[in-house]
Structure 1
């Protein structure tokens, strides 16, 4: 069976490991489609990491409205579907996104079965045209993949009648996520690192880390690896609390180097804050950090 998977997530090298594993199935011919880069909403440009490419074909194609989650699309997708002639189109996007509508409609016109992915774990009614896009995708697919049970429940509440499979999207690769067996035992006054890797955004609750640091012994340090609009606020908070010399900010690193950063930490923190329009969907970095020891 020839499967066409479309996802902006494949710009990350570690996300490509899933493709390599899927391609190992003897009856699977896998073709992946991804853009040359993705503009994150924290201002960071994630360029395609060509890291895990064994066993499948990757097509890199332009994207219009790059960085816009709900309105981006692939202008060459119709040509790609005609040339690949897949037996199944797997769109790794939410059903209310325009890119999902584009892929499902293209597949439907060629009588190719298609499915979408859903990770929206809060019930929300979307304004036009996204409500209409969502309903079109519901009515023109027989299968949906949900990232967790909450997302599956949202699909049912919103009227999706097709089959739903809950499949956890994120795991840790033991080939790169493993403990540092040679790390020396800490002496009592050695630095104790509280770490975070990810986007520096308000919903991640990062001011709680600075606040907690101020009440901890002086040998405790906080290390933030990532980029985002909250950095200046965190720097200001650390200065006001007198712990600026105990806080370090590091730039974004390639996904395959994240485990190296995690292995330098003593505790990994992810104090995400649930909001009316957002809740942490999984917290992949927690699984990765635990595997790194």
Structure 2
């Protein structure tokens, strides 16, 4: 079977693991990656091809807008490769999706796309949420979705709300799939736990509470700091990214908030890349993602949650958003975002009590996440789809 995959995220070599494994499953895979991309910090060239990568072709994007770009030369690649399946790791509300849909029909290929959306994209609903200023954007996006709809044989989504939204507007088939993490990186690692805790001078009996992820308002880090500031527990420290190199106004607020709070002496700042972050997750006992829904955004997945779980963390999340749809109630707590502070504080204190009494089962938490949210789970679902298996 010949599969042509188009992936902007594979601009970063760390995000190619799914395709590496796909190519080892009897699939003749060709991966298309933009030769450069701008994720908000200026355009940068894609990572070079690694030895373990599948066949990759780098194409030039017309621009860096996820909905409006197209890749120059994609038509020639489709014509020469003659794929059985075209997989676009991107939203149906985009120029690329529309174009690839037409190409798939012309080449008699099955067309699959991926959406992370979890809010209705019907113009009336968008304007109701965000205001009349979104009229033109919502109309354009919905037009692109409608143009793509009849061409997409299977739309992959990553949350339950996305499943409902796209079924409601008439997509032929919609399938939920995890954004799999690399199980060989995010796993229990006692050596890493001991090494990191030793380097940071964290004693064996100290509870490590952490925040992993982007430092933006919607992630609710300020709520977490307020909750920690009033904890009725003593034996804990707070681990958070030092956010060097990408400061913004909110990050400055968070840093100042920490330095002026009672938790200043309990806070440890760290710096780590994508693979090193797993070591810090292993050193952690409790991870918190206090996401705040807004008119424009609700947590679409919360990838750090299954990654932290795979490293044995108890996770605490807010109750609105996809981060609480994917995880068994046995392994996480959730709190009401409208009554966030006292409930979050209570859940952190309960988790600390569980830790102090040996009730945090790191092995079970890790196994559950590895089996349900890793790349292998994602791959199994994807293979069934392209092979038309139930």
TM-score (norm 1): 0.84
Match of 1:282 among 295, 298, 301: 301
Match of 1:148 among 135, 151, 159: 159
CA distance in 2, matches of 1:51, 1:78: 22
Could you say which residue in structure 2 is the equivalent of 1:97? 94
> 1:192-271 counterparts in 2 under 5 A?
192-216=207-231, 217=234, 220-224=237-241, 227=246, 229=248, 230-244=250-264, 246-251=266-271, 253=273, 255-271=274-290
Match of 2:177 among 156, 167, 170: 167
Do the aligned partners of 2:115 and 2:157 also contact (CA within 8 Å) in 1? yes
| Superposition deviation, residue 271 in structure 1 | 1.4
CA distance in 2, matches of 1:234, 1:245: 15
Gaps of 5+ in 2: 124-137, 313-390
Could you say which residue in structure 2 is the equivalent of 1:78? 75
Could you say which residue in structure 2 is the equivalent of 1:56? 54
Gaps of 5+ in 1: none
More helix by share: 2
CA distance in 2, matches of 1:20, 1:266: 32
Cα shift readout 1:245-285 (whole Å, capped 9, x = no counterpart): 544554562x3333123223332222112223322222221
CA distance in 2, matches of 1:206, 1:175: 29
Q: After the TM superposition, which of the residue ranges 216-225 and 174-183 deviates more from structure 2? A: 216-225
How many aligned residue pairs are there? 286
Alignment root-mean-square deviation, CA? 2.8
| Superposition deviation, residue 60 in structure 1 | 2.1
- The alpha-carbon distance between structure 1 residues 218 and 149, as it changes in their structure 2 partners (threshold 3 A), is closer
